[in-house]
Amino acid sequence: MRVGLLTREYPPDVYGGAGVHVEFLARELRALTELDVHCWGEGAAGGVVRHRPWPALDGANDALRTFSVDLSMVAALEGRDLVHSHTWYANLAGHLAKLLHGIPHVMTAHSLEPLRPWKAEQLGGGYALSGWAERTAVEAADAVIAVSGAMRDDILGCYPDLDPARVRVVHNGIDTSLYRPDHGIDVLERIGLDTGRPYVLFVGRITRQKGVPHLLRAVRDIDPAAQVVLCAGAPDTPEIESEFRELYRELSAVRDGVHWIPQMLPRPDVVQLLTHAAVFVCPSVYEPLGIVNLEAMACGTAVVASRVGGIPEVVEDGGTGLLVPLGDDFEAGLARALDSVLTDPGTARRMGEAGRRRAVGEFGWDTVARRTVRLYEEVLEAG
């Protein structure tokens, strides 16, 4: 089976959960299929073909630049039996490859454009184009993979013309051999953390979706013994970055031990930070699954997260962490949940141990890949 996997992000250029998903899915699929990965960048090697936006569009709206990459991908997909696209950045390429080459198109929905209206800040009128590309691809795809049951509901809610039988749930996975407890402290010391004090950890992009402003306000009044570590970068817009910086300055003025790490850390550094955190926090306002919560759980750390999207399918409330409903009391609820974990190390330890067991037992990438290939086979047989 010759498969073209289409994505914006691929190592070394991974900055979000979709990129992590594609990285590990591709690794497992190579043992099961003849796989080529098509992604953004330059050059080709080892089954990876990189495509860059057309130079004539330098400075143009990002949606137009994305479409130029999609066209380049389509031209390179001749001879594939099936294409599998990830995110709106590659969905149009998958749809056009289906039309041009007469092959099935499977797409994985990691998020949905209609549920991310704040992206208009980033793309301007390009947001209308990204929404059009996603709708066109979704409604014509031979199969749509949802990364959670909640995501499947969202897909069918946003695109009611889509046949529900074509939407399958295949959860995100986690490599529990890479994400496992690391009890060294060299990374903590290099960052300047006080290893005698607990810390709350956030890892994610500075976007509306990730709810970072809510977190920065919520942690102002939590246990003063706790440090706050923010591995937060890649802001969507200058305005969002400015808002983050101002809230960070305000937070740093009212409590000590606040650490902001804006650069993307190597995975081993993140694993050590996850391992030693007293609690990991995910304040997202929209999250189809939340792979970063799985990463924290795999490192044996309790999680406090918002009760949105697919997060409850990962984080067991009261078992592997605590879930906080969105609403007017959200920030106060986050603070209460964080304090609850911070002030009860025994419960935090039990939650972390349960999270590790859950990650190992239910979310392995080998299982995800086998389920994905079974879907490919069904689509080709129905062909």
DSSP codes, 286-343: --SS-HHHHHHHHTT--EEEES-TTGGGTS-BTTTEEEE--STTHHHHHHHHHHHHHT
How open is the CA angle 9-11-16, to the nearest 5 degrees?
45
Q: How confident is the model at residue 43 (pLDDT cuts 50, 70, 90)?
A: confident
Q: Say how far apart CA 33 and CA 142 lie, in whole Å.
A: 19
Q: What is the structure's pLDDT at 116?
A: 86
Run of H or E including 50: strand 48-51
Q: What is the pLDDT of residue 109?
A: 94
3-class SS string, 151-173: HHHHHHHHCCCCCHHHEEECCCC
How many Å from the N-terminal Cα to the C-terminal Cα in the chain? 14
**pLDDT at 262 > cutoff 90:** yes
Contacts of 34 (CB under 8 A, 6+ apart): 1, 2, 3
Whether the pLDDT of residue 117 is over 90: the answer is no
Residue 40 pLDDT more than 90? Answer: yes
What average pLDDT does the segment 51-55 reach?
97
- Encoded tokens for 217: 């306000």
Q: What are phi and psi of 241, to 5 degrees?
A: -65, -45
Q: Is 186-362 in the same CATH topology as 2-173+364-382?
A: yes
For residues 26 and 34, the answer to whether their CB atoms sit within 8 Å is no
- Would you list the DSSP string of 7-47? -S-BTTB--SHHHHHHHHHHHHHTTTSEEEEEEESS-EETT
Query: What pLDDT is attached to residue 23?
Result: 95
CB neighbours of residue 127 within 10 Å = 20
For the segment 214-240, the average pLDDT, to the nearest whole number, is 94
Model-level pTM greater than 0.75? yes
Range 77-80, long-range pairs (CB < 8 A, 24+ positions): 77/4, 77/38, 77/101, 77/103, 79/2, 80/2, 80/3, 80/4, 80/36
Q: How confident is the model at residue 244 (pLDDT cuts 50, 70, 90)?
A: very high
pLDDT band at 124 (very low <50, low <70, confident <90, very high): confident
Which CATH code fits 2-173+364-382? 3.40.50.2000
Instruction: Give the span between the Cα atoms of 383 and 381, in whole angstroms.
Output: 5
* Pairing of β 48-51 and β 44-45: antiparallel
**Beta carbons of 287 and 308 less than 8 angstroms apart:** yes
Rounded to whole angstroms, how far apart are CA atoms 205 and 240?
A: 11
| Cβ-proximal residues to 69 (8 Å cutoff; 6+ apart), any chain | 8, 40, 51, 52, 53, 89, 93
| pLDDT of 4 above 80 | yes
Where are the domains positioned within the chain? 2-173+364-382, 186-362
122 has a pLDDT exceeding 80: no
**CA nearest neighbour of 323 among 287, 273, 281:** 281
Q: What does DSSP say about strands 34-40 and 2-6: parallel, antiparallel, or unpaired? A: parallel
d(CA 40, CA 38): 7
pLDDT at 383: 78
- 11 backbone dihedrals φ, ψ, rounded to 5°: -50, 140
Using 50, 70 and 90 to split pLDDT, how confident is the model at 236? Answer: confident
What kind of architecture, by CATH, is found in domain 186-362?
Answer: 3-Layer(aba) Sandwich (3.40)
Write the pLDDT tens digit of every residue in 140-186: 999 999 999 999 999 999 999 999 999 999 998 999 999 999 999 99
- Return the H-helix or E-strand segment holding 107: strand 105-109
